[in-house]
Structure 1
Amino acid sequence: MKSSNIIDLIKRRFPNEPEYHQAVQEVVESIEDVYNEHPEFEKANLLERLVIPDKIHSFRVTWMDDNGNVQTNMGYRVQHNNAIGPYKGGVRFHASVNLSILKFLAFEQTFKNALTTLPMGGAKGGADFSPRGKSDAEIMRFCQAFVEGVWKVIGPDTDVPAGDIGVGGREVGYMFGKYKKLAGEFTGTFTGKGREFGGSLIRPEATGYGNVYFLQQMLATKNITLAGKRCLVSGSGNVAQYTCEKLIELGAIPVTLSDSDGYIYDPDGITAEKLQFVMELKNLYRGRIREYAEEFGCKYVPGERPWSEKADIALPSATQNEISGDDARRLMQNGIIAVSEGANMPSTPEAIEIFQQHKILYAPGKAANAGGVSVSGLEMTQNSERYSWTAEQVDEKLKWIMSNIHENCVKYGTESDGYVNYVKGANIAGFMKVAKAMMSQGIL
């Protein structure tokens, strides 16, 4: 198998889907040598089967705004692969959502979930609807309408959605309530639920915490600790907030946060008290990050991302392709020693190549941000048992999972010169688990 053949096939078959093409290319190029060691894979046409989703559901979502106007959006659920467990992946509500983005996310989710060691397949869903600027009533009506289009293809043993960009506890609650009514059952069909109706402790924190735990593991291979390290964090939502919280707890100094309007740079560091302001600003008042600069008198740069600032570590935690090649070169010039991704595919291929050329510690999102789906899987287990674990129990399981993911990345990604290619390691570890499961189950 030549990786270029699969990439060309995907581009011909599914044109105008650049994010999906990018995700497929990154994986197939890194697993090519291992794949070719298994002629049985090629005989079963396994790779082509693996890169194409099992099922794609698309539907119209019609809802009424507060002014009595009928609005229409497109809704999707991409069920990519369930070889190792029921489909599992978030729901994204954002104006940018399209099929290419969701196919890339579902493809990535398949390997990410395989890395967690938990029995979960890969899926992703969403709609080109943005909750920003909408009332709670409008968001509720939209969520209910979205579930009307998807409820028949999800379930606790079939497909378990969760949150993503634009979908937090509020949206999950509305969707779960509508699903419960339509399906006539109370099961763990959604994760990221409220604690009152089956949610897990540590779930809101999990992606950010898990990213920092993975970063710790990487730094430890160089006998480096987080204490005193200055960190660039992008985003200001759930992932960025809890990334900052764990960094502060471990003695690091986060100095940036951002949103779609721009970024703040606080040279004195974002403290626990300042972070509390951000959490209230973003979670309660739906405010903008520039209000942090107004409150604390620090630098605010509109329309830009924080990658030109000097620091030790970068943790992109916003969205896909937010670090370009030029951004990566600036990060290298400013002495960055590690990049750990809290978002999904936030670095472009050019940026990744630059990180690896400079032999820095670079963790791709499918490994570093797997903490969120890991605790979602733990929430599924608790729901099945009708039982709740303590925060300490969940956190310990999360640490173990992230440590295990790191161990597998090192196992499959260590190159002849000793450099750990975490992209290659994560892709091969996830691929081999899914591939072996598919081979065992026959041609489906």
Structure 2
Amino acid sequence: MLGREYVNKVISEVEKRNNGEREFLDAVKEVLSSLVPVFDKHPEYISEGILERLVEPERQIFFRVPWIDDNGNVQVNRGFRVQFNSAIGPYKGGLRFHPSVNQSIIKFLGFEQIFKNSLTGLPIGGGKGGSDFDPKGKSDREVMRFCQSFMAELCKHIGLDTDVPAGDIGVGAREIGYMYGYYKKIRNANDQGVLTGKGLSYGGSLTRKEATGYGLVYFTEEMLNDNSLSFKDKTVLISGSGNVAIYACEKATELGAKVVALSDSNGYVYDENGINLDLIKEIKEVKRGRIKEYLEKVPTAKFVEGCRNIWKEKCDIALPCATQGEIDLEAAKILIKNGVKVVSEGANMPTNLDAIEELQRAGVLFGPAKAANAGGVACSALEMSQNSMRLSWTFEEVDEKLKYIMINIYKNSKKAAEEYGNPGNILMGANIAGFTKVADAMMSQGII
């Protein structure tokens, strides 16, 4: 009872202080609700105000980003960086460039990042950032000018041992390259480890592009194996068609699955014979095109408008890899009706809270984002290590370390769920395992 009262009190305070920030409030409720048994067992966390401090970012940076488009017109966007918690290491988290970016979304992502980074077992804290800038339809020179203006301010707040951003939606190797180049120029420092997701020619890591997608499949395969299942001969739906979706598709196919659908913001393609991944890579990674172009080469496939309709197709395994909130209660019910066995999150919180509850009630195995999609940030931390040592590991070396990390995340999440009385609830276990490491570090460092 003590734990429930404490959690409810903190949630109420968060709602008052962050009114209207729906994404952030949902993230806080999802995590805190599962921590009730922790506070019943460890009341010392309550007396030290751990939650009150944890839900409040250590620092929020909000800034103007002016830039000049190809027509000579001045454009102005908003830039964000939320440095949420540094108890176990420097802030670490991606930069998202997308029109939907606002304070609530950046705070939700940064809050999730605390626990995700903790679960990797690596010494990295939680942060997130980005802008409402949309790189789609912009020329390379426009993207470069925006990135340079963005970094002109961001550089004042990041550093090798302070805050290390990476990429996210809308921020790939091109954007990271432009930002790192400008950082290096204005700081007169070859601090390669200050940004991750870099090109291989200037400090990037092999396997980084594949890491989130591969990691998702490694985590999900461990969960499947633990329940006497596997990817072999399973039908898989994957939303999205960026790095996460593409390389989850690649690894799932290697393990014997048949991936039948991928999507983008316009809709999804369904190929009952299995997605031709080489064609998808050409469309998305080379041409930066739209996924419906798949039908030009594979006319037997179908394209359906409305990306969220993808969950109406039958599957054994669903891997949402597009964006937050894409599986709502209705989609969850359809997936259950169609016999889904596993839902594992490759995007950040793509499944609504009521949808998660519905899936768990139906006995569907559920892999939460903070555990299942931690492969990207884990590989980013491995990139930081290589930069610090002035070394470059082989693809196989990084991939082996990534797989080890993802398997351990599953095992630690399962162990925590069992320890706190809810065996099999990997969402609860991931929250607890991620939280307790951060909480213990905060306790050791005093009230700061």
Q: TM-score, normalised by structure 2?
A: 0.97
Q: Aligned partners of 1:347 and 1:387: how far apart in 2?
A: 39
After superposition, the CA RMSD in angstroms is 1.1
Give yes or no for contact 2:38–2:420 (8 Å, CA) kept in 1.
Answer: no
Q: Aligned partners of 1:48 and 1:257: how far apart in 2?
A: 40
2:284 corresponds to: 282
Report SS of the residue matched to 2:35. helix
Q: Does 1:84 align with 2:58?
A: no
Give yes or no for contact 2:214–2:251 (8 Å, CA) kept in 1.
Answer: yes
Q: Does 1:257 align with 2:259?
A: no
1:237 corresponds to: 242
Q: 1:435 to 1:325 in 2, by over 3 A?
A: same
Q: Does 1:303 align with 2:301?
A: no
Q: Aligned partners of 1:288 and 1:127: how far apart in 2?
A: 23
Q: Aligned partners of 1:401 and 1:222: how far apart in 2?
A: 20
Q: Does 1:267 align with 2:267?
A: no
CA deviation profile, 1:139-178 (whole Å, cap 9, x unmatched): 0000011001110110110000000000000100000111
Q: Aligned partners of 2:236 and 2:39: how far apart in 1?
A: 37
Match for residue 166 of structure 1 among 157, 166, 170: 170
Q: Does 1:49 align with 2:32?
A: no
2:196 corresponds to: 191
1:147 corresponds to: 151
Residue 336 of structure 1 aligns to which amino acid in structure 2? V
2:439 corresponds to: 435
Residue 385 of structure 2 aligns to which amino acid in structure 1? T
The Cα shift of 1:415 comes to 8.2
CA deviation profile, 1:123-143 (whole Å, cap 9, x unmatched): 000000010000000000000
Q: Aligned partners of 1:66 and 1:421: how far apart in 2?
A: 52
Residue 305 of structure 2 aligns to which amino acid in structure 1? P
Residue 26 of structure 1 aligns to which amino acid in structure 2? E
Match for residue 126 of structure 1 among 120, 124, 130: 130
2:74 corresponds to: 70
Give yes or no for contact 2:264–2:307 (8 Å, CA) kept in 1.
Answer: no
Residue 219 of structure 2 aligns to which amino acid in structure 1? F
Give yes or no for contact 1:415–1:421 (8 Å, CA) kept in 2.
Answer: no
The Cα shift of 1:341 comes to 0.5
How many residues are aligned here? 441
2:38 corresponds to: 34
Q: Does 1:361 align with 2:362?
A: no
| Gaps in structure 2 of 5+ consecutive residues | none
Q: 1:39 to 1:240 in 2, by over 3 A?
A: same
| Gaps in structure 1 of 5+ consecutive residues | none
Report SS of the residue matched to 1:131. coil
The Cα shift of 1:294 comes to 3.1
Q: Aligned partners of 1:276 and 1:184: how far apart in 2?
A: 41
Q: Aligned partners of 2:418 and 2:352: how far apart in 1?
A: 22
Report SS of the residue matched to 2:314. coil
Match for residue 397 of structure 1 among 390, 398, 401: 401
Residue 255 of structure 1 aligns to which amino acid in structure 2? V
Q: Aligned partners of 1:241 and 1:98: how far apart in 2?
A: 27
Report SS of the residue matched to 2:34. helix
The Cα shift of 1:5 comes to 1.5
Residue 412 of structure 1 aligns to which amino acid in structure 2? A
Moved more, 72-81 or 222-231: 222-231
The Cα shift of 1:295 comes to 2.2
The Cα shift of 1:414 comes to 3.2
